[in-house]
Chain A
Amino acid sequence: MINFDEEIKKFKPVLELDQAEDAIYNNDMKDIMDIMQEMMRVAKETEK
């Protein structure tokens, strides 16, 4: 059975046009290679 209140929580506001600039600047998505570089950097620092 659908719980309306629970379902409505799943609906998130969409971005408006004046928020697009912030969304672009805050697009700091990391891919797996960034993660590997970060892991190597941390490992080197721990070795030191």
Chain B
Amino acid sequence: MADVLNCKHCGGTILVTGYCAQCGLKSEYVNKALNSSKYYYNIGLDKARVRDMSGAKEALKMSLKYDKMNIDARNLLGLVYYETGEVVLALSHWVVSVNHFAGRNVAKRYIKEVKSNPHKLEATNNVARKYNQAIELVKQGNKDLAFIQLRKVLSDNNKFVDGYLLLALLFIDEERYDKARKALKRVIKIDRTNPLAVRYFKEMGHTDEEIMNFRDFPEENYDADLLFTDDERKGYIKTGNIDFDGEPIPVGRYKDINFYKYSIAYIIAGIVLGIAVTWFLIVPHRDKTADDESRNLKVSFSQEISDKNVKISSLENDVDNLNSDLESANKQISDLNSKVSAYQAAKTQALTEDEKVRIQSGIKKYEDMSYDAAMEDFDRVLDKNENNDIALFYKGMCYIKQADTNSAKQVFNQLVSKCPQSVYYTVAASYADKSIVDAANTGGNSSLGDDAGTGTTEDGTTEDNGYSIPGDDTEGNGYTVPGDDTEGNGYTAPGADTEGNGYTAPGADTEGNGYPIQDNTAPQDGIDE
């Protein structure tokens, strides 16, 4: 008997008198009230199972009047309200139920399911708002607008019993009983014993049996639009044969839009669209940009290559110019080398002061016709400088004066062969052997053989060049070979005696040693004068 010790209403202790020490209620009454609540809950449950929603509502309300803490009765009442389209009332009962008992309460799941779909919740709210507007419109006499609102209401919630009842009332008022009948049939499909629907059926002349038939064989189609379509206009074959009071032709079933399913479809479509945009817009633009960059790069490289080519061509021209300069420089070097070699050769014939004195002495003795003494001086010079052309020339002339032509020829041969650039060459060549002269000319001194500067021919004849062999100043040109002292100083030589030593040589004595650099192209400078 543990259950009698505590109050089933507040949990307080039951006193011996049978009253609760806490709430003061007699436990017998409390138990009676709880049992009555359960009794009506069972009735409500049975009626709800046979879709007698109105009866279930009344029974469950009665159950809650006996025990407002009956969670099952409250949850079931909310479910009945939800089924008849009164979602807000259902939510309020479920919330109160969760507030009374926060444990394992099925109302939590109901609330979660209703709130999990915001679109449906918003649609439910719109249904309630438009239904209330329809009521106001009907009261104001705007039945057409009320029809429009009810059509929207029943399209959004095809189980809204109050909406169907209001629509049926409007149809009955317009004496469109067929439409009212259809609406009422849908009402009794949802709520089999809806008293208002039954009453309207009876007002339209239907018997209880007919109402029972409507109730037991309800139509399956809940499309609200069928209630608003004009049956005459739908009969496009033979309108006269259509039974407007018969069963409506099912044309489809209203289904709630599954937003989640369409959301996935939208996501997939968005991804495909994004890929398409990327493929057709972004990728070509990127490729075009890359092409432009490569083209610009090619243009810049081409310009750079052309600049390089121009620079290369200019450098090649510079190289050609430098090569030509190098060739001319090489030519100058070779000329200078030849001149240097000639200078070196001439320098080897440079005489010392002693030898110069001996040559002057020899020449003086030659002019005094002391030929032997003169030849001694010349031999002494030739001992040290055997190729001295002056010594050789005057030695040869001494032999000539002594009529020793063989010895003279040998001396002149030596002069011609060893000193081809000597000013005495022409005279010496006239006494030398012809073969020696030819050999000397072919040995790179052909210009001497042509006698371009001296005008002396090979046979010893003189031309008008102001030059003659010694002793034969036949042309009166102021130049005489030794033996023809025209100046009365006992010694004459081509050109001026610049050193005041009584000895001059053709050209200028550039070294100041009394012996000029040979220039056989113009040995007569100053001679003709």
- Chain A residues in contact with chain B, CB under 8 A? 1-2, 4, 7-8, 10-11, 13-20, 23-24, 27, 29-34, 36-37, 40
Contacts and interface: CB of A to CB of B under 8 A. Distances in A.
Contact of B138 (A8, A17, A31): A8
Contact of B65 (A7, A13, A19, A31): A31
Majority secondary structure, A binding face: helix
B207 to A, nearest CB: 17
A33 B25 contact: yes
B68 A29 contact: yes
B169 A7 contact: yes
Contacts of B135: 8, 11, 13
Contacts of A30: 68
Given A2-B200, A23-B92, A24-B92, A15 B128 contact: yes
Nearest to B85: A14
Given A7-B169, A31-B37, 16 more contacts: A2-B200, A4-B172, A11-B169, A13-B132, A15-B89, A16-B128, A17-B121, A20-B95, A23-B88, A24-B96, A27-B92, A31-B65, A32-B66, A33-B30, A36-B25, A40-B24
A20 B91 contact: yes
B139 A8 contact: yes
Given A24-B96, A31-B33, A36-B25, A14 B169 contact: no
B64 A29 contact: yes
B165 A11 contact: yes
Contact of B88 (A2, A11, A14): A14
Interface string B30-46: 10010011000000000
B88 A17 contact: yes
A37 B33 CA distance: 13
B308 interface: no
B165 A16 contact: no
Contacts of A14: 86, 88-89, 128, 131-132, 162
A33 B25 CA distance: 8
Interface of B: 9, 23-25, 29-30, 33, 36-37, 64-69, 86, 88-89, 91-92, 95-96, 121, 124-125, 128-129, 131-132, 135, 138-139, 162, 165-166, 169, 172-173, 196, 200, 203
A45 to B, nearest CB: 13
Q: List the 10 closest A-B pairs by CB distance, nearest first.
A: A15-B88, A17-B125, A31-B68, A13-B132, A23-B92, A16-B128, A4-B173, A32-B33, A24-B92, A14-B128
B166 A11 contact: yes
B134 to A, nearest CB: 9
B88 A16 contact: yes
24 contacts: A2-B173, A4-B173, A8-B135, A11-B169, A13-B132, A13-B135, A14-B131, A14-B162, A15-B92, A15-B128, A16-B88, A16-B128, A16-B132, A17-B124, A17-B125, A17-B128, A23-B88, A23-B89, A33-B9, A33-B23, A33-B25, A33-B29, A34-B68, A40-B24
Contacts of A32: 33, 36, 65-67
A14 B23 CA distance: 37
Contacts of B131: 13-14
Given A2-B203, A11-B135, A13-B135, A19 B88 contact: yes
Nearest to A41: B24
A8 B128 contact: no
B476 to A, nearest CB: 155
Contacts of B92: 15, 20, 23-24, 27
Contacts of B196: 10
A7 B172 CA distance: 11
Contacts of A13: 131-132, 135
Contacts of A7: 169
Contacts of B36: 32
B172 A2 contact: yes
Contacts of B203: 1-2
A29 B100 CA distance: 13
Contacts of A23: 88-89, 92
Contacts of A37: 23-25
B88 A20 contact: yes
Contacts of B89: 14-15, 23
Contacts of B64: 29, 31
